[in-house]
Structure 1
Amino acid sequence: MKALAQAEQKVAALSGPYQRLLDEDTHEVPAVLRLQHNPCLGTEDIPVRRYTSRAYHEREKERLWSRVWQFACREEHLPEPGDVVVYDIAGRSYLLVRQADGTIRGYVNACLHRGRRLRDYDGHCDGLVRCPFHGFAWRLDGNLADVPAGWDFPQLPDRDLTLPQVRVDSWAGFVFLNPDPGAGPLEEFLGGIIAHFADWDLGSAYVEVHVAKVIQANWKVAQEAFCEAYHVAGTHPQILPWQGDLLTQVDVWDNFARAITPGGVTSPHLTWVPSEEEMLRSMLDVRDGETSPITLRPGERMRAVAAELARTRWRPLAGDQVDRMSDAEMMDSIDYTVFPNFHPWGAFNRIVYRFRPNGDDHRSCIMEVLLLSPFRGQRPPPSPVRWLAADEPWSAEPRLSSLGKVFDQDTFNMANVQLGLETTLRSGVLLSEYQESKVRWLHRTLTEWIGE
């Protein structure tokens, strides 16, 4: 009990600096940023086999990906009846189909004749989902519509050839799929994160940018690179003058967790202390590639000035909503993770990540970055996904702006982490108690699903 009390005191001390920073905000801070929840998750190592073992990947397929709610697409990817999205996960394939009544259904993406995938790509089907192999076709509602040379299938009247459904539901414009017919409701699975995002209306945004890349590492290796700020000093030193990496507050609940890293404050890692103007110049140079012409008045804090610049930037699209947003909402990296692999960021960060196995390969994965933006008037169509080639950096996509260079730095580590895990003589991965507790949460929850 004494050790637990000491751990709780340590957690409270580590989250304190961020909460004190909120006390200095020029606007009212939303209650959701005042929440603190980080029970001690221990100091045990994470088994290396979780990243390297084919047997563990097979258990993930059986006990996780076939049973868990998972982000599949955005509602705007299916604007009209007959629109279809193909969602693949760990060697299995599903279809999401907009119905005539506006609802969305999910089906197993396999022809009930010879098993070929019914669809290989997203698009529109004009009322029928037709197999490209022999031409069997189904209506949008999953009922069999056409069998070429049907007279040669006398057994059909005795067979149920309705497309098997998978569960589908939506939250905040995100469409989720669950292959398990016995799964509980999505709302129950998401839990408290629904209330967290009540004032951050992601459902009213649109996908302005969508970029994907195959990473030569297990999906957890890639995802964990975005679960902590402990790596910032080693991987992103250019942002240390204005990014408070060691001031990150980490919170974990049941099916979701978050890490809030403050912007507009200097990293304690720096051996020198920049002035407020130097901090602003550094941020704008990294973000926009330009030197700041702004001169701060005596006593002005870079964090407040940069937050006001962000409000000015977004006001034409978001309106006076930005004037109600705190400096923290405009400046801080508020990275939520919904188990197992979905990262929606809070406030005006725009970023959404998804990490999933690359087909049935446990040593590679697909990393996706979506940028959600507010809009005026009619919703713009979502950006088509841009797939980066193996040798193409994230910075090759200009719409990612400065984020592209950051992602290049992140992904530079990933294949080397995988190779190191394949090579190491240690059986476990060493994690810090607090700064990497979001990674600990991920593995604690994996254990609950997979059993080991």
Structure 2
Amino acid sequence: MTAEPMLSRYSAEYDLPVRGDPITAERYTSAEWMKAEDDHLWPRVWHLGGVLADLEEEGDLIRHNFGRESVIMVRQADGSIKAFYNSCPHRGNRLVLGDVGSTPRITCGYHGWQFDLDGTLARVQDPDDFPGGNPCGKVHLTELRCESFGPFVFWCMDPDAKPLLEWLDPFPARLAGYGLDNWVRVLNLSADCDFNWKIIRDNFNESYHLPTIHPELSTFINDGLSDTLFEMYPSGHNSMWMKGHQATTRADHVSGEVPAPLDEIAAAWGIDPADYKGRTADIRQAVIDAKRRLGAERGYANYADMTDQQLVDYFHCTLFPNLTITMSPEQCQILRTEPHPTDPAKCVFQHWVLVPPIKGMKEVMTPVGPVPLRHAEHRHSVYGDGVSLGFVADQDLSIGTSQQQGLNSRGFKGCILTYQEKRIQRFHELLDDYVKGRI
């Protein structure tokens, strides 16, 4: 990784150095490494807990199970949101067993202890039968930090972590033009998978796999290295800009007919694909012009605040350690892997889709097909049981199990990376620093 090939295009401002630490198999396979992550990584980072649409009224709550932990977020009377560990201080029973709900008090199903929404113990059976006297008003649920960004609510176990918006830097500013605040989560999927959570993180930190795993995308997303911009930020996060509404420059889509579905995308904005035979690369600018001209009347008020790049391109934001936000002008995809409670060779994959609420629109197209434009209920499955998690996500997950199996081989000596996979190298070096106590 000492010389930069001409093909890979890193931002001059955000091309950070890497050390070249070896990326060996034990971080994907060993219980010891998993415990080190549980001790030194997960308690120190911000976690996406849910969406604010599930927390509209006082007493609304959501639960987020993460590894061995479980956290509940609760809307307070003053409009704020508090987060608590989902554990009764009496004898540890989990208080909330469902994903979402609403209650005037949080009640333990074991012995009936009741807590006000601010976490204060309000009622117990036999209150005078305690050595220290009635515990009501004195005992509290253990609180965590809780902050929001856009339509999302986050929690963090570390009292010394940076405030959320600083932690997310530079994405709050970079995503502002999309107007995410009122977007609707129309897809809420998750699945149990037979591979370590980092396998998909590595996958989302590179585009090297697109020609082999996602070949059909090449007709409307330009994955050519000279046209893709990689960025690595001081915060530890990464990103990748890929030109949309343009066929890949890896193959000859420039001189011939406009390929599908780029032809349909163009026609949807009043552009005749026949006019672009032999110059398909020009369709991208034609779509920008059409969206500027027609967007408002079609209900896309957010177009006015977007840059030309945001109007047509794909912005893949890979947040350390385990969250991806993929932005296009009409869709936000959340893709995340979380650790299994006990098995390093398993994880939970999550896929959300959010869209802007366009007046009069009843249905939207998603990676699993058309769905109603309304807040979706959570659907959980086991990967491989036939339930799609999105056509591109299915392709990404398809390689996970075989890679996990291969990592267990004595023949695997450590990753050999291309320069375009430098973001993988940096991800693992930052992970090393957390796990080994260097930061």
TM-score greater than 0.5 by the shorter chain: yes
Q: Post-superposition shift, 1:383? A: 1.4
Call closer, same or farther: CA 1:317–1:438 in 2, change over 3 Å.
farther
1:40 to 17, 23, 27: 17
Q: Does 1:442 pair with 2:427?
A: yes
Q: Does 1:386 pair with 2:379?
A: yes
Q: Does 1:409 pair with 2:395?
A: yes
Call closer, same or farther: CA 1:265–1:347 in 2, change over 3 Å.
closer
Q: Post-superposition shift, 1:14? A: 2.9
2:352 to 335, 355, 370: 370
Q: Post-superposition shift, 1:242? A: 3.5
Q: Which residue does the alignment assign to 1:401?
A: none
Instruction: Check conservation: 2:299, 2:359, Cα contact below 8 A.
Output: no
Call closer, same or farther: CA 1:183–1:264 in 2, change over 3 Å.
closer
2:309 to 328, 339, 358: 328
Q: Amino acid of the residue matched to residue 295 of structure 1? A: A
Call closer, same or farther: CA 1:308–1:92 in 2, change over 3 Å.
same
Instruction: Tell me the distance in 2 between the aligned counterparts of 1:73 and 1:199.
Output: 22
Q: Which residue does the alignment assign to 1:341?
A: 322
Q: Does 1:423 pair with 2:409?
A: yes
| TM-score normalised by structure 1 residue count | 0.82
Instruction: Check conservation: 1:107, 1:166, Cα contact below 8 A.
Output: yes
Q: Does 1:15 pair with 2:9?
A: yes
Instruction: Tell me the distance in 2 between the aligned counterparts of 1:269 and 1:347.
Output: 22
Call closer, same or farther: CA 1:14–1:344 in 2, change over 3 Å.
same
Q: Does 1:233 pair with 2:218?
A: no
Residue by residue, what CA displacement relative to the aligned partner does 1:54-86 show, whole Å, maximum 9, x if unpaired? 101101111111221111111112111111111
Q: Which residue does the alignment assign to 2:189?
A: 211
Partner SS for 2:327: coil
Task: State the aligned residue count.
Answer: 416
Instruction: Tell me the distance in 2 between the aligned counterparts of 1:287 and 1:293.
Output: 7
Of the structure 1 ranges 309-318 and 59-68, higher mean CA displacement relative to structure 2 is found in 309-318
Instruction: Check conservation: 1:239, 1:286, Cα contact below 8 A.
Output: no
Q: Amino acid of the residue matched to residue 142 of structure 2? A: P
C-alpha RMSD of the superposition: 3.1
Residue by residue, what CA displacement relative to the aligned partner does 1:149-195 show, whole Å, maximum 9, x if unpaired? 22333434479421110111111222111112333322332232222
Q: Amino acid of the residue matched to residue 77 of structure 2? A: A
Instruction: Tell me the distance in 2 between the aligned counterparts of 1:283 and 1:376.
Output: 23
Q: Which residue does the alignment assign to 2:364?
A: none
Partner SS for 1:419: helix
Call closer, same or farther: CA 1:438–1:381 in 2, change over 3 Å.
same
Of the structure 1 ranges 323-332 and 383-392, higher mean CA displacement relative to structure 2 is found in 323-332
Structure 1 unaligned spans of 5+: 17-33, 398-403
Partner SS for 2:71: strand
Instruction: Tell me the distance in 2 between the aligned counterparts of 1:287 and 1:230.
Output: 27
Q: Amino acid of the residue matched to residue 351 of structure 1? A: Q
Q: Which residue does the alignment assign to 2:202?
A: 224
Call closer, same or farther: CA 1:436–1:313 in 2, change over 3 Å.
farther
2:257 to 256, 277, 292: 277
Instruction: Tell me the distance in 1 between the aligned counterparts of 2:229 and 2:193.
Output: 28
Instruction: Tell me the distance in 2 between the aligned counterparts of 1:448 and 1:306.
Output: 44
1:124 to 88, 101, 109: 101
Structure number with higher helix proportion: 1
Call closer, same or farther: CA 1:315–1:208 in 2, change over 3 Å.
farther
Structure 2 unaligned spans of 5+: 361-372
Q: Post-superposition shift, 1:326? A: 4.7
Call closer, same or farther: CA 1:321–1:142 in 2, change over 3 Å.
closer
| TM-score normalised by structure 2 residue count | 0.84
Instruction: Tell me the distance in 1 between the aligned counterparts of 2:183 and 2:167.
Output: 23
Query: Percent of aligned pairs with the same residue?
Result: 25
Q: Post-superposition shift, 1:36? A: 4.3
Partner SS for 1:15: coil
Report 1:258-337 matches (<5 A).
258-270=239-251, 272-273=252-253, 275=255, 277-279=257-259, 281-283=260-262, 294-297=273-276, 301-307=282-288, 315=296, 318-322=299-303, 325-337=306-318
Q: Amino acid of the residue matched to residue 366 of structure 1? A: V
Q: Amino acid of the residue matched to residue 177 of structure 2? A: D
